[in-house]
Chains A and B, each alone.
Chain A
């Protein structure tokens, strides 16, 4: 295979790369990256890195793992970009590829991609209980992003996966069922429980803050 002359991979300033990347039309960048053009690949990285890294970080709740997985996702992209035929949006395709990288990692770590509770049916230990006697501190119409982030990180891995895929990344339950390998009902149920758990965690956090002040 004869490849066109490649741009050198240099340690250019990310902002400079971003500027050059934005000058490069995405479709053109994809085509050039398919030919092994390093500059075009950098442009794609700069454009999509935040989305991919955020996904990895949300699903693993671990910075080091998220960085490794982001790297792995973009290396997979480099290896597989020639197979991208434009049947879906590039961001959708890359995103799906990244999700698969993360899920593969979670499976290797033997972390439940879907909560074990769901498979045994009936264990409600993890499900937040409504304590009707306790003072109910409502979330009062706003959620601080950092607190939400922290609460998502504290979710059990199974809940976290479904919550991130549905509420953060915008996948539908049928898509999640396919990606994760569970039923649609299971996905819905876990999402609901994840939200309930998050509400508890956020309220707990708020109560702690109120107690301190």
Chain B
């Protein structure tokens, strides 16, 4: 091996430890010096690893950039919330959902009689009309009773056209308890006994309240109780109607 060959071989075996390299290095002072220098350079290089300290302005710049970055990220995050409910889906979307759920039997088709105004064509349509009518009447009577607080006038009114009697008559004429119970027994037979019970209770409540009003026409509390009793009965009818609808 000559000097040129040794130099070329040093790219692969850097420290000259191969047998032929060692043989040449024993006889060549210049190549020995070269290998020693190269090894020295390599070993000194590690001193450069952490030799430098960055200027304080590096951190200042990083700090500013981090603040900017944070501000931008916060802005993006806060703006992103505004996107949460920004878009309205096309009505097609709900149509498709509805169709799919109907096909799977998870929802029932809407009832044709489910409009705000009860249909006149159904069997118990008259009863459904009468429920709101009775409720309105009851409220009107309540207002009437409250406004006519003069004892004598109320007593006279009750004697000639008793409000409770009128309400009771109207309610009974429009919404006969037996008719209601019959409807309940047809649609939801299991509930009939409960409704009969409830009707009995509410009727007793009405009778008691009427008795109190008759006995003490000046008693505000008694009149309020009578009004509440009628409201309860109207509510009971409404509940029954809702349950008996398909």
Contact = CB atoms under 8 A, between A and B. Distances in A.
Partners in one complex: yes
A59 to B, nearest CB: 11
B191 interface: no
Given A74-B62, A148-B44, A149-B48, A138 B54 contact: no
B54 A50 contact: yes
Interface string A190-202: 0111011011001
B14 A71 contact: no
A181 interface: no
Contacts of B57: 67
Tier of interface size on chain A: 35 or more
Interface string A151-178: 0100000000001100111100000000
Contact of B48 (A142, A152, A192): A152
B47 A148 contact: yes
Interface string A50-66: 11111001100000001
Contacts, number: 129
B65 interface: yes
A41 B66 contact: yes
A53 B50 CA distance: 8
Main secondary structure of the interface of A (DSSP, over half): helix
A50 B3 contact: no
A188 B12 CA distance: 7
Contact of A198 (B14, B41, B52, B63): B41
Contacts of A169: 49
Contacts of A164: 48
Main secondary structure of the interface of B (DSSP, over half): helix
B110 interface: no
Given A50-B50, A168-B48, A67 B62 contact: no
A74 B3 CA distance: 47
B46 A139 contact: no
Interface stretch (B28-36, B164-172, B182-190, B205-213): B28-36
A38 B66 contact: yes
B142 to A, nearest CB: 54
Nearest to A6: B70
B19 interface: no
Interface of B: 3-4, 7, 10-12, 14, 30, 33-34, 36-38, 40-42, 44-63, 65-67, 69-70, 77
State the 7 A-B residue pairs at the shortest beta-carbon distance, nearest first.
A167-B45, A192-B11, A53-B54, A50-B50, A143-B44, A54-B52, A138-B33
Interface of A: 1, 9, 11, 14, 36, 38, 41-42, 45, 49-54, 57-58, 66-67, 70-71, 74-75, 78-79, 130, 132, 136, 138-139, 141-143, 145, 148-149, 152, 163-164, 167-170, 188-189, 191-193, 195-196, 198-199, 202
